[in-house]
Amino acid sequence: MHARHDSHVSEGVHFPLKESFLEFLFWVPVNVLQALSLGLLCAIMIPLAIAARKISGSSVPALWMARNVWARVILAGGLARLRVSGSENLSRVRTALIVSNHRSYSDIPILYRVLPVGLNFAAKKEVERMPLIGAFGRAVGMIFLDRSTHQRAAKGILDLKAALECGEWTAVFPEGTRSADGTLGRFASGSFAAAIAAGVDVLPVAILGSDRMLHRGGFRVRPSRIQVLIGKPIHTTGLASGDRFELAAKTNAAVSALITGAGRSVSERC
């Protein structure tokens, strides 16, 4: 039973990776090759994205490259298989704030691939300070949220609100960091204030299996079946800024229900 769970982690709750020392040794050269390939990909893609942004004055070309080249190659190189449920809940006509759980850095290329929109991301200010990655984020129009002071946090929320009002689909990970054990954490309320102010829906999304593809605490990539579940949109019409805490809790419950439902499906099949 446990071995089956480990090999199908994407379709339910979090299961820690269990492998023998010989299995680990087998994957070491594979992971080294994957890391080198990823470095080469980024060395090519990041300057191209930055150049495309400067030449066009728009993030559209860089976003196209991120979704159709960068994310596609990363997931293929990571031996990941994607399955999406709930696509009918996503309307291309009405902009929404995508709210997802966060288990792995691979969550970003996963969302790029499964959501058929020009997707933007909001990230911690620390990401902008990372060499090359920060420049790439600026090229694709990423919104950086600085929580070091109240004034800077407020500016980040205003930037997010402006992006949503301009029709930019934006994804956030309101847990604030990757989950260490797959448990869904509390959602910060700031991004929900932006959704309320912009009058856009909130779309809950659950990603399962990304923590097997790329583990926290090292470059340990393993073949994975990744499931993305898209929930029903949560409307913000009629809500005021003070309702952001209730909206955050409601969205957290919706994402939790998606994860629990997927876990129940696995238990029934095993």
At 26-36, the pLDDT tens digits run 999 999 999 99
Does residue 254 have a pLDDT over 50?
A: yes
CATH topology of domain 2-269: Glycerol-3-phosphate (1)-acyltransferase (3.40.1130)
- Mean pLDDT across 233-262: 95
Does residue 8 have a pLDDT over 50?
A: no
Residues 81, 209: Cα–Cα separation, whole Å = 10
pLDDT, the chain, mean: 87
pLDDT at residue 106, as a whole number:
92
pLDDT in tens, 40-87: 999 999 999 999 999 999 999 999 999 999 999 999 999 999 999 999
Q: How many CA atoms lie within 13 A of 198 on its CB side?
A: 27
CB 240 within 8 A of CB 196: yes
pLDDT at residue 263, as a whole number:
60
CB 47 within 8 A of CB 133: no
Residues 213, 80: Cα–Cα separation, whole Å = 7
Best CA proximity match to 209, nearest among 232, 176, 182: 182
pLDDT at residue 264, as a whole number:
59
